[in-house]
């Protein structure tokens, strides 16, 4: 229902059917253009300014304003924006209680109201005029409705010639439909942007924490490991067999802790560092990774089969060395007894190359495969020596280099861990620090 003049003088008498005002074609065209203009931006402040300027011009008034429910205090309407062709009253952040003033009445009842003599209407709230040093002679307010809810109101003030008409109300109500959708879209984008910024801040804080903790652990851990190794290989036979076993355990666990610290540092640097993606020397990267694992290879008496040649791809050599070191380390630890490991590569159909490590281990169930590449996840009691960071680092690196990680495994038939990278091209691509 729409009211004209005052609450006791409705535009549509009670019990009668509402009359639909037929708008001329040129007004329909202008409304269509206005709707397209409103929904063409997702910036809330710009949506509101466009809405107010169009409403003021369409209805030929002195100015307009938009009032929305205050998110911090839903019992109040807050003026979000105002537009006037002459003086600009300071309406920003002015609030009205629900039901207060004509605007509050419209928002509370979900009905439009057009008042030609505001001072004669009992709903009029003169305090805002007194506060802003502005004179509101006439006023048209329509609800902004979305999904059967009133989210605020559009208010147009001081008709330039004559009084507000049924046509003005229809123009404002039609414009309000597009405006409510545009405001809702802008609010959604703003919330998503805020969530994105919050997540980026949290990630940055986590990276800084991991980096700080890793550095703080590095020096005392190096001392523990250094002194322990001196005692372990001391020729002076002063340790009992049990003490020697305990010392060996200290050394072994200190080395494990050292590996975790290094991987924390790598994880933090991968998130933050910006690198250039260049053609890789895969043979050199694999050799460097194996050199870091030479003691483990000897201990496990592993057989490692390398291909005669490698597919060419682009990436960042230090990171790819980390990938190979993690894949090979897992194959050595969790492969067969003794481990039989095969490496290789193949070209795919989409300008990517796949690189893989095949082991002769017990294989993985589908459930275990689903939990791979997740930080701090242990696969089973058999894999109790794993700490879960390695595969998480592999995934972070490969995703940042625009590739994908994968695993194929069958129980009793071993596992194949793989990663893909773009095939080498003439150009050098920048790999940014984004996720």
Kindly give the confidence (pLDDT) of every residue in the chain, 435 residues in length, as a single tens digit, with 9 standing for 90 and above.
444 443 333 333 333 334 456 666 666 767 777 767 777 777 888 888 888 888 888 888 888 888 888 888 888 888 888 888 766 666 766 888 888 889 889 888 888 999 888 888 989 888 888 887 788 889 999 999 888 888 888 998 889 988 888 888 888 888 888 888 888 888 888 888 888 888 877 776 666 666 666 666 766 777 777 767 777 776 666 777 777 778 777 877 776 677 666 666 666 666 666 677 889 999 999 999 999 888 889 989 999 999 999 999 999 888 899 899 989 998 998 888 899 999 999 999 888 999 999 999 988 888 888 777 765 444 443 333 344 567 888 888 898 899 999 999 988 889 999 999 999 765 444 455 444
Neighbours of 357 (CB within 10 A): 23
Q: Are 153 and 51 in contact (CB under 8 A)?
A: no
What tokens were used for 413?
Answer: 């038939």
pLDDT value for 2: 45
Q: State the Cα–Cα distance between residues 82 and 90, nearest whole angstrom.
A: 8
pLDDT value for 355: 97
**Residue 415 burial (10 A CB sphere; 0-12, 13-18, 19+):** buried
Q: Are 191 and 220 in contact (CB under 8 A)?
A: no
pLDDT value for 76: 87
Q: State the Cα–Cα distance between residues 422 and 277, nearest whole angstrom.
A: 10
DSSP, collapsed to helix, strand or coil, labels residue 133 as coil
Domains delineated in the chain: 2-192 (3.30.450.40), 275-435 (3.30.565.10)
Q: State the Cα–Cα distance between residues 53 and 65, nearest whole angstrom.
A: 10
* Phi, psi (degrees; rounded to nearest 5) at 390: -55, -50
Buried b (16+ CB within 10 A) or exposed e, 42-69: bebeebbbbbbbbbbebbebbbbbbbbb
pLDDT value for 352: 93
């Amino acid at each position: 229902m729409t009211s004209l003049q005052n609450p006791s003088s409705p535009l549509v008498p009670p019990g009668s059917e509402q009359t639909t005002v037929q708008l001329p074609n040129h007004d329909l065209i202008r409304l269509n253009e206005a709707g397209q203009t409103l929904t063409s931006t997702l910036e809330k402040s710009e949506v509101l300014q466009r809405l107010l300027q169009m409403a003021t011009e369409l209805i030929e008034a002195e100015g307009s304003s938009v009032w929305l429910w205050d998110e911090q205090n839903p019992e109040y309407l807050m003026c979000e924006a105002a537009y006037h062709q002459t003086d600009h009253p300071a309406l920003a952040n002015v609030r009205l209680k629900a039901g207060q003033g004509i605007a509050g009445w419209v928002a509370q009842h979900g009905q439009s109201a057009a008042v030609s003599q505001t001072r004669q209407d009992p709903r009029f709230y003169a305090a805002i005029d007194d506060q802003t040093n502005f004179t509101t002679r006439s006023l048209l307010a329509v609800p902004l409705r979305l999904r059967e809810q009133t989210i605020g109101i559009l208010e147009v003030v001081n008709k330039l010639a004559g009084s507000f008409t049924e046509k003005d109300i229809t123009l404002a109500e039609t414009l309000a439909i597009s405006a409510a959708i545009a405001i809702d879209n802008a609010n959604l984008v703003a919330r998503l942007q805020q969530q994105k910024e919050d997540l980026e801040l949290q990630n940055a804080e986590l990276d800084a924490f991991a980096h700080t903790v890793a550095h703080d652990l590095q020096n005392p851990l190096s001392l523990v490991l250094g002194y322990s190794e001196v005692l372990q290989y001391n020729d002076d036979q002063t340790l009992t067999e049990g003490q020697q076993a305990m010392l060996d355990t200290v050394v072994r666990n200190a080395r494990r802790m050292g590996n975790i610290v290094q991987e924390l540092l790598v994880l933090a640097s991968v998130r933050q560092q910006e690198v250039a993606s260049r053609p890789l020397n895969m043979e050199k990267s694999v050799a460097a990774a194996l050199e870091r694992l030479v003691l483990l290879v000897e201990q496990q008496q592993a057989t490692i089969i390398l291909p005669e040649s490698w597919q060419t791809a682009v990436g960042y050599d230090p990171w790819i060395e980390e990938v190979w070191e993690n894949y090979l380390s897992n194959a050595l630890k969790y492969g067969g007894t003794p481990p039989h490991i095969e490496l290789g590569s193949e070209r795919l159909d989409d300008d990517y190359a796949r690189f893989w490590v095949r082991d002769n281990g017990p294989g993985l169930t589908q459930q275990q495969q689903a939990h791979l590449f997740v930080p701090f996840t242990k696969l089973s009691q058999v894999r109790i020596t794993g700490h879960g960071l390695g595969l998480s680092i592999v995934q972070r690196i490969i995703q940042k280099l625009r590739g994908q990680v994968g695993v194929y495994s069958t129980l009793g038939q071993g596992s194949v861990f793989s990663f893909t990278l773009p095939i080498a091209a003439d150009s050098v691509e920048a790999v940014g620090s984004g996720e």
